[in-house]
């Protein structure tokens, strides 16, 4: 087994604005099962960060426990990382974000880490609108513990060695919408042409960006009886829209029929250009997004694409009026303003 990837790259590999190639965004060789959807998501993150010319040292990768949570080792090898306790990634991400708002926080989690043990953590990160990208690599199975059904397994879905699941699945996109997530998308690991621009849009978004990525487990859940297999998703996938991420101050080149394209301008001046495939979805309406999710679900279809964006919502720092300076840069003088300042504060509460 190869633990190392050869050092040679294609001599014509393109370079980004920083002069980096995708090699500079790679991590260690994956130790996940061959063919795991999670590896494709890692590759999509590498591609998105490369294309956006993100400085690797400005990124923090955070994860919990599970197959999904191993993946930050396999991308952005030159970035910061924190592998937390099972399900506790949202707290660590929130804390890190409070300490230094100038980083890009990429949280990686799975359906077990998010929808079971970490559910309480997840919902609070959502409602606080922590400025981060939260990717849930959702395969509907507990891969690391040999293939038990997870909380996102659909009713009737049967894994390789399991029984048909009898319990109601948690729809993470729906929950995120209900709790006030300001960017919600659903995608598929096997469709990078959709996933890469969605990740770029999520990075550009200021606030909590949730991407649920259906990511087949080749070892335990890529069978005909499963609703999260490569074949099932390919046959049942429906796109609400196709997404183009247009960087700040660059020309929009993709042309669609008038009236079918919606452009959302983000805080940094970039534009998310959404080519609507279903005119019934209003991506500025939570209710519309929720209705569409259930509508498609009733037709046995998996709705993918960007489902909801609120580019103007206040992220947590704005709501709490916190300092823009990273905590590590604050001196004793600012952190301990003295008895007089304390007295003033105490006065306010008498």
Partner 1 sequence: MKPTDTSNPEYFHKVVDCQYACPAHTPVPEYIRLIAAGRYADAYMINWESNVFPGILGRTCDRPCEPACRRGRVEDKPVAICRLKRVCADMKDDIRSRLPKIPKEKNGLRIALIGAGPSALTVARDLMPLGYTIDLFEAAPKAGGFMRQQIPSFRLPEEVIDEETGYILDMGVNAHFNTRIESMKALIEDGYDAVFVGTGAPTGRNLKLPGYEEQTQNSVFIGVEWLAQVAFGHLTEAPRDVIVIGGGNTAMDCCRTALRLGAENVKVLIRTPIDAMVASPWEIEDTRAEGIPILENHSPLEYIVENGQLKGMSFEIIEYSMTEDGKEVFTPTGQLETIPCSMVLLAIGQANAFPWIERDLGIEFNDNGLAKVDDITFQSTLPKVFFGGDAAFGPRNIITAVAQGHAAALSIDLFLKGKDLEERPAPGTNLVSQKMGIHDWSYASMVTEEHRHAVPHVDLDKAIHSHKVEVELGFDAKTAFEEAQRCLNCDVETVFSANKCIECDACIDICPVDCLTFTDNEEEAALRKKLNVPAHNLSQPLFVSTEVGTGRIMVKDEDVCLHCGLCAERCPTSAWDMQKFLYIQTKAFNAESNQANPTQAEIQ
Residues that bind partner 1 (CB under 8 A): 1-2, 4-14, 22, 29-30, 33-37, 39-40, 42-43, 189-190, 192, 216, 218, 222, 230-231, 234
Nearer Cβ to partner 1 (30/63): 30
Nearer Cβ to partner 1 (26/244): 26
Task: Output the smallest distance, CB 315 to partner 1, in A.
Answer: 32
Q: Is the separation of the CB atoms in 307 and 281 below 8 Å?
A: yes
Nearer Cβ to partner 1 (105/230): 230
Nearer Cβ to partner 1 (48/307): 48
Among 224, 222, 208, 255, CA closest to 94: 208
Task: Output the smallest distance, CB 320 to partner 1, in A.
Answer: 39
Q: Which residue has the tokens 């959807």?
A: 37
CA gap 347, 2 in Å, rounded: 66
Task: Output the smallest distance, CB 124 to partner 1, in A.
Answer: 33
Nearer Cβ to partner 1 (1/166): 1
Task: Output the smallest distance, CB 217 to partner 1, in A.
Answer: 10
Task: Output the smallest distance, CB 218 to partner 1, in A.
Answer: 4
Q: Of all residues in the chain, what percent are helix, strand and coil, respectively (each to 5)?
A: 35, 20, 45
Task: Output the smallest distance, CB 213 to partner 1, in A.
Answer: 13
Q: Helix, strand, or coil here: 63?
A: strand
Among 209, 200, 208, 207, CA closest to 270: 200
Residue 322: its H or E element: none
Task: Output the smallest distance, CB 42 to partner 1, in A.
Answer: 7
Task: Output the smallest distance, CB 170 to partner 1, in A.
Answer: 25
Nearer Cβ to partner 1 (180/190): 190
Q: Is the separation of the CB atoms in 137 and 110 below 8 Å?
A: yes
Q: Helix, strand, or coil here: 77?
A: coil
213, β-bridge pairs:
137, 187
Nearer Cβ to partner 1 (211/271): 211
CA gap 115, 342 in Å, rounded: 42
Structure tokens at 343: 């007295």
Q: Is the separation of the CB atoms in 238 and 244 below 8 Å?
A: no
Nearer Cβ to partner 1 (7/338): 7
209, β-bridge pairs:
133, 183
Residue 99 φ/ψ region, left for φ over 0, alpha for ψ in the -120 to 50 degree band, beta for the rest: alpha
59, β-bridge pairs:
104
Chain CA centroid to CA 275, Å: 21
């Amino acid at each position: 087994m190869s633990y190392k990837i050869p050092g040679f790259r294609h001599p014509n590999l393109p370079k980004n604005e920083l002069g980096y190639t995708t090699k500079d965004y790679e991590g260690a060789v994956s130790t996940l099962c061959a063919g795991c959807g999670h590896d494709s998501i890692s590759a999509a993150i590498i591609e998105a960060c490369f294309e956006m010319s993100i400085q690797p040292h400005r990124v923090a990768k955070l994860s919990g426990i599970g197959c999904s949570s191993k993946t930050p080792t396999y991308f952005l090898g030159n970035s910061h990382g924190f592998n937390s306790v099972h399900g506790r990634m949202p707290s660590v991400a929130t804390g890190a974000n409070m300490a230094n708002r100038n980083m890009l926080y990429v949280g990686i989690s799975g359906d077990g880490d998010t929808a079971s043990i970490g559910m309480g953590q997840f919902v609070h990160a959502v409602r606080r609108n922590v400025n981060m990208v939260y990717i849930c690599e959702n395969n509907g199975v507990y891969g690391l513990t040999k293939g038990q059904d997870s909380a996102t397994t659909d009713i009737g879905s049967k894994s390789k060695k399991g029984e048909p699941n009898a319990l109601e699945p948690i729809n993470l996109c729906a929950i995120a919408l209900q709790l006030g997530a300001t960017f919600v998308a659903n995608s598929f690991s096997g469709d990078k042409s959709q996933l890469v621009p969605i990740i770029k849009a999520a990075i550009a978004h200021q606030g909590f960006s949730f991407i649920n990525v259906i990511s087949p487990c080749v070892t335990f859940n890529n069978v005909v009886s499963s609703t999260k297999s490569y074949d099932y998703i390919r046959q049942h996938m429906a796109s609400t829209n196709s997404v183009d991420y247009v960087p700040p101050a660059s020309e929009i080149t993709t042309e669609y029929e008038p009236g079918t394209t919606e452009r959302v301008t983000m805080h940094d001046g970039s534009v998310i250009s959404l080519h609507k495939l279903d005119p019934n979805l209003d991506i500025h309406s939570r209710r519309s997004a929720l209705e569409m999710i259930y509508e498609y679900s009733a037709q046995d279809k998996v709705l993918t694409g960007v489902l909801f964006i609120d580019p103007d919502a206040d992220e947590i720092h704005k709501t709490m009026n916190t300092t823009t300076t990273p905590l590590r840069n604050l001196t004793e003088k600012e952190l301990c303003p003295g008895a007089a300042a304390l007295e003033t504060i105490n006065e306010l509460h008498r």
